[in-house]
Structure 1
Amino acid sequence: MATLPEDDRELLILSGWQGLTPAQAAAVVGCSPITLRVRLHRARKRLTQAASASPPTEEAAAARRVSTRVRIAVGKEAR
């Protein structure tokens, strides 16, 4: 899951972990429920592909750390 783009992770978490319906998740991310369903389908496909791929490289791990720092910094600015 960590190797997926942030947008994919968000959709998968909203749907799978938070248990939101497509309409609720669409409201959170700011799109129509139909668009959300298409994006979620694609995210699930990428998750399946990532799960069957080889382990992430150190470069991918470093990119995830940077992405996390950016999200934290942006979140602090929004407050």
Structure 2
Amino acid sequence: MILIPVTGYLYSSAAGVQVVYLGVLPLPKLIDTNRTLAAVLKPVHIYLNYTLLAAVAGHLLAVVKHQWVDRQRLLARMLPFGR
């Protein structure tokens, strides 16, 4: 979760794109424009995003399995209003 914004920031810097935090604060360029480095950082950034998406989807599927297949009342234990 930390590497995704870091690689995105580095990729944007290497691609020559100005990064503006929350649309308000322009961030300084950490590295000079380098198309070769940008070509490496882009797939790394995309791969990390898909990896995080797969982890979240796996956890959601585990919740469904434990809640409705195994009938473990998992959500009732996790959520404060479910007790």
TM-score normalised according to structure 1 size: 0.39
Higher strand share: 2
Higher helix share: 1
Structure with more relative contact order (C-alpha pairs < 8 Å, separation 6 or more)? 1
TM-score normalised according to structure 2 size: 0.38
